[in-house]
Each structure stands twice: as structure tokens, then as C-alpha cells.
């Protein structure tokens, strides 16, 4: 409404002057409403992307059959529902409008380019975009900041040890926002 009225500063404020708990979710929801209208299709699309990201993460560390089986267990069998680690749990939280699923989905999406594939190129762009998506995850819900710090610290130390300077610069510049 504020954007339609020409109040750009009020639209960027997000209708509240101070908001620290989930600062990025209101901007994600505003972008979603601009693209999809008054619906939850943007957040739904993000949640539906989550099983594919989980599969890619499992695929990075396990053989294909195991990865597929674990991704299927994550999606179809709510084994981890009591611990909050199943797809059902993330879908319920997203349906209620919480920022946790978006933050963790973006966190895993940022992990994938940073970790990379065995023998794959670990260059500036993959490190930059991975760190940038991690910064978005932190902005979505700041509670993922310690995990992002551990991931980026380990990747940075590894890049420093291997002399991968463009990768180290990409990690550093990508997390700046």
C-alpha cells in the first residue's frame, strides 16, 4: 500500500520502525506479494525447493541410492517430526508464516556452492553466491549466523591453506551484506 501511495521510505521500513527478530521475512513477503499477488505462492515455491536441496546435500556426501532414500525419508516419513527435522515440520512452520523454514532453506542453498563437488572448480563466483545466500539466510533469521560463521570459517581456512585467493575473496565479499 505504501509503495502504491508513493511512500518509498515507508515501504522499505516494512510498516514497523524497529524489527529485529525476523528482519528479512517481511521483505521476502513483500516481494512475494508484488510478484504473485495476495497469495503464498512465493513461500510455497521456496518450501517445495527444499527437498531438492536436501537431496543435493545428501548427494554431495553419499552415493546416489542412499541420497535418494534419505531424501525420500525426509519428505515422506515424518521420522524427525518430534525433533523438528522433517519436511512436514518445515511445511507447517511455513504455513503459519514463520521465518525459520526460509532461513534454513536459504542456509542449505548457500552451503551447496560453498561445499562444491569433489574435484569441481571452487572459484570466486561459487564462493560469492554461496556466501551471499548465507547472508540472506542470516538476514531472514539471525539465529543461523553461528552455523554460517562455522561454515564460512572452515571454507575460508581451507581456501587460505590451499592458496585459493579468488575463492577466499568471494567468500569475504559475499557475506558482507
Summarised one tens digit per residue, pLDDT across range 105-129 is 999 999 999 987 766 667 899 999 9
Task: Report the alpha-carbon distance of residue 167 to residue 15 in Å, rounded.
Answer: 39
Q: Which position has the grid cell 571452487?
A: 122
| Predicted pLDDT at 98 | 84
Helix axes 41-61, 100-115, angle to 10 degrees: 40
- Residues near 1 by beta carbon (within 8 Å), at least 6 away in sequence: none
What CA–CA distance (Å, rounded) separates 13 from 76? 40
Q: 151: which 3 cell numbers? A: 561454515
Residue 176, SS3 per DSSP: coil
pLDDT digits (tens, 9 = 90+) for 44-84: 888 889 999 999 999 988 888 899 998 888 888 777 666 66
The pLDDT value given to residue 84? 64
CA–CA dist 11, 76 (Å, integer): 40
Residue 14 CA to residue 86 CA, distance in Å, equals: 31
> pLDDT value at position 43?
85
Rounded to 10 deg, the angle between the 165-175 and 145-162 helix axes is 160
Amino acid at each position: 500500500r505504501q509503495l502504491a501511495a508513493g511512500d518509498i521510505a515507508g515501504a522499505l521500513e516494512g510498516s514497523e520502525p524497529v524489527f529485529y527478530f525476523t528482519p528479512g521475512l517481511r521483505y521476502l513477503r513483500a516481494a512475494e506479494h508484488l510478484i504473485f499477488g495476495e497469495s503464498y505462492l512465493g513461500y510455497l515455491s521456496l518450501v517445495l525447493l527444499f527437498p531438492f536441496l536436501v537431496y543435493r546435500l545428501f548427494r554431495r556426501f553419499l552415493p546416489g541410492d542412499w541420497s535418494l532414500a534419505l531424501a525420500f525419508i525426509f519428505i515422506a516419513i515424518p521420522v524427525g517430526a518430534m525433533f523438528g527435522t522433517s519436511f512436514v515440520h518445515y511445511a507447517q512452520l511455513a504455513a503459519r508464516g514463520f521465518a525459520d523454514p526460509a532461513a534454513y532453506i536459504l542456509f542449505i542453498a548457500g552451503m551447496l556452492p560453498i561445499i562444491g563437488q569433489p574435484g569441481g572448480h571452487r572459484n570466486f563466483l561459487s564462493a560469492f553466491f554461496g556466501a551471499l545466500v548465507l547472508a540472506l539466510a542470516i538476514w531472514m533469521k539471525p539465529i543461523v549466523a553461528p552455523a554460517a560463521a562455522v561454515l564460512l570459517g572452515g571454507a575460508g581456512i581451507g581456501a587460505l591453506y590451499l592458496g585459493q585467493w579468488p575463492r577466499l575473496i568471494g567468500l569475504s565479499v559475499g557475506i558482507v551484506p
